[in-house]
Amino acid sequence: MAITKLNLQPITIESDYSNVTIGNSKFTDDIWDLSPFITSKTTKDSKKKITFDFIKNKDVKLIIKHYAYYKLGQIKPQSIRDYINAKLPLFIKYCDLNNINSFSEITKEVFLNYSLWLKEEKRVANQSGYMSTRVVEEIIKVGQIKGWNVSKTNIFVDFTSLDLWDWKKDRKENKTKPIPEEVFDKILQCTLKEKNILTKAGIIIQSQTGLRINEVLSIRQGCVHTTNDGYEYMEVTLSKTEKGEPIIHKVFINKLVKNVVAELEEYTKDLREESGLKELFIIKNHGIRVLNVNKWSEKRLPNFIERWEIRDNKGNLYTLKSHQFRATFVRELIKQKVPIAYIMKQFAHVSIEMTSHYLTLKEEEVKDIYSNMILGKDSKIAGLRAKEIKSKLDEQFRGKTEKEIDDIVSNLSKSMSFNPLPTGVCLYDFRRGNCSDGDGCFFYNCPNYVTEVKFYPILKQELDLMEKEMSRLEKLEQKRALDVQKFKYKYLKPLVDSLEVQMNGKETQ
């Protein structure tokens, strides 16, 4: 979505509001037309307007207008529209029912009763309830600083909206998990055979870049470029930035993405010429428009899963969520021994912008992948402490539900460090100080080193090369160098054997 940066004049409670302009409207209007600030052709006109006519009380309306004006200088105009027109109507209804005529009448008791009313009477979901109370909380807090007619007492001394709704717990329970590997492989196989080019392109681009679906759907004609060094990348609009403003970023792509973008450009060529749109994900349905994010998630993905009969390990059609591709992308990077911390350094020779996309892969996301890989119920690990770790985990997992096991893994991961290595992870906690081995670390004989079957191909290749090197050194009678290789082989061979046994479905002895 294209957004023009707002440059609003400062106002106070004493300002002459008739001279204050917002977009195509005046401050005094009951509808603020924000069209000059939201220039996307695909956004409905109704989504470009903030309406205040549902607020009958003049004092309450004035405070909410001040709040909207204040927030317009901070975040996206469309977000403000959602705050006012989607979250505040319930509060206004509650005020009408309880004869509350001013924000100055909102006490701690009133606020808590409003939250209770949302929960018990309206039965709103945690996230919606949190946002509906959070906007009222912010109006009061900002109003106290700005001198608006709001409650003068500090209502939020010992609680906040977050405490009332425990939204973090709700988010934790709905944490996005990577797609199981066997399901992910089936999705990619079927995608390559998919006839619907928009569905095919969307899944391929998401799975190979880790982009959010709204970012994928924003790509435009001519978005693929090549650096002077021959690296291919794609320009994409990233909307979730710190300041809420969209930024064009450059994201490295492989041939799979390059080819499907070319296929998509050819497929939508006539529609783009007819409509004048530059976006590639466009359809002809009541006019030519960009594919809707909600339609993608609610219809295209489920239809794709059903069409190709993609099922989970229980035989049910797999419930695929668009954002899972992002978490899966992180996992696949790790499997390919790409330490997340080094990606910026690796790509710095192109440009900082080229790497910024990868830095949105948060540390927490990476830690989630590692914790599930090493500590998960179905993990197959090797290392000097592998049996001890598995034994303790099995004991804790015994008799627990899948949800309870997820909670155990999550809690354990918070107390552990997962330091990426080319063939596994180091569990050493650097809060204890620097590791005594320093740069001379040979991790295969270290009790802090743990690997998993996903790293088997890399370890097996390393073992094969080591055996060839040992044979070469033996023929050259280079005893000292041979002894070094034998020492490494002594620890690497049991690791590979252990993983091989587990891959064949057997437990290690």
Q: Which residue, among 235, 217, 226, 225, has the nearest Cα to 277 in the 3D structure?
A: 217
Tokens read off for 60 = 């309450």
Is 12 within a domain? Answer: no
Which has more pLDDT, 332 or 322? 322
Residues 123 and 43 placed together within one structural domain of the fold:
yes
> DSSP per residue over 450-504, as a string?
EEEGGGHHHHHHHHHHHHHHHHHHHHTT-HHHHHHHHHHHHHHHHHHHHHHHHHT
Single residue among 359, 378, 404 that ends a domain in this structure: 359
Residues 228 and 163 placed together within one structural domain of the fold:
no
Percent of the chain with pLDDT over 90: 40
Q: Which of 57-66, 326-335, 497-506 has the lowest mean pLDDT?
A: 326-335
What distance in Å separates the CA atoms of residue 231 and residue 65, rounded to the nearest whole number? 49
Please report which confidence band the pLDDT of residue 467 belongs to, taking 50, 70 and 90 as the band edges.
very high
Per-residue pLDDT at 238? 65
The conformation of residue 249, written as its DSSP 8-state character, comes to: E
Residues 202 and 341 placed together within one structural domain of the fold:
yes
Is 9 within a domain? Answer: no
- Residue ranges in 398-455 assigned as alpha helix (H): 402-414
Other C-beta atoms closer than 10 Å to the C-beta of 243 total 10
Residues 155 and 259 placed together within one structural domain of the fold:
no
Q: Give the tens place of pLDDT for each residue, 45-91.
A: 888 999 999 999 999 999 999 999 998 877 888 889 989 999 999 99
Which has more pLDDT, 117 or 177? 117
Residues 349 and 213 placed together within one structural domain of the fold:
yes
Q: Which of 4-8, 144-148, 156-160, 230-234 has the lowest mean pLDDT?
A: 4-8
Per-residue pLDDT at 345? 37
Name the residue with tokens 């006539």.
Answer: 270
Is 322 within a domain? Answer: yes
Please report which confidence band the pLDDT of residue 29 belongs to, taking 50, 70 and 90 as the band edges.
very high
Residues 6+ apart with CB under 8 A from 165: 115, 126, 127, 129, 130, 133
Residues 380 and 323 placed together within one structural domain of the fold:
no
Q: Give the tens place of pLDDT for each residue, 231-260.
A: 788 888 765 444 445 667 777 888 999 999
User: In this structure, what are the phi and psi dihedrals at residue 245, rounded to the nearest 5 degrees?
Assistant: -105, 140
Residues 6+ apart with CB under 8 A from 450: 374, 381, 382, 383, 385, 386, 389, 424, 425, 427
Which helix (H) or strand (E) segment holds residue 252: the answer is: strand 247-252
Residues 286 and 372 placed together within one structural domain of the fold:
no
Residues 194 and 131 placed together within one structural domain of the fold:
no
Q: Give the domain extent around 405.
A: 363-503
What distance in Å separates the CA atoms of residue 65 and residue 84, rounded to the nearest whole number? 9
Is 508 within a domain? Answer: no
Residues 159 and 226 placed together within one structural domain of the fold:
no
Number of domains in the chain: 3
Is 47 within a domain? Answer: yes
Tokens read off for 506 = 């057997």
Single residue among 321, 340, 359 that ends a domain in this structure: 359
Q: Give the tens place of pLDDT for each residue, 111-151.
A: 999 999 999 899 888 888 999 999 999 999 999 999 999 99
Tokens read off for 113 = 């009763």
Highest mean pLDDT among 342-351, 353-362, 389-398: 389-398
Please report which confidence band the pLDDT of residue 105 belongs to, taking 50, 70 and 90 as the band edges.
very high
Which has more pLDDT, 464 or 227? 464
Core vs surface per residue 160-194: b (16+ CB within 10 A) or e: ebeebbebeeeeeeeeebbbeeebbebbeebbeeb
Per-residue pLDDT at 2? 40
What distance in Å separates the CA atoms of residue 234 and residue 204, rounded to the nearest whole number? 14
**C-alpha 305 chain-centroid distance:** 22
Residues 292 and 411 placed together within one structural domain of the fold:
no
Single residue among 359, 376, 393 that ends a domain in this structure: 359
Is 5 within a domain? Answer: no
Core vs surface per residue 273-305: b (16+ CB within 10 A) or e: eebebebbbbeeeeebbbbbbeebeeebbeebb
Does residue 356 carry a pLDDT above 70?
no
Which has more pLDDT, 277 or 178? 277
Residues 440 and 291 placed together within one structural domain of the fold:
no
Other C-beta atoms closer than 10 Å to the C-beta of 340 total 18
CATH number of the domain that 259 lies in?
A: 1.10.443.10
Bridge-based pairing state of the strands 232-238 and 224-226: antiparallel
**Chain-wide mean pLDDT for the chain?**
82
Q: Give the tens place of pLDDT for each residue, 419-453.
A: 666 677 777 765 566 666 554 566 788 888 888 88
pTM: 0.50
Does residue 361 carry a pLDDT above 70?
no
Is 420 within a domain? Answer: yes
Per-residue pLDDT at 89? 95
Does residue 455 carry a pLDDT above 60?
yes
Per-residue pLDDT at 126? 85
Tokens read off for 271 = 């529609």
Residues 245 and 151 placed together within one structural domain of the fold:
no
Is 4 within a domain? Answer: no
Q: Give the tens place of pLDDT for each residue, 342-355.
A: 444 333 323 333 33
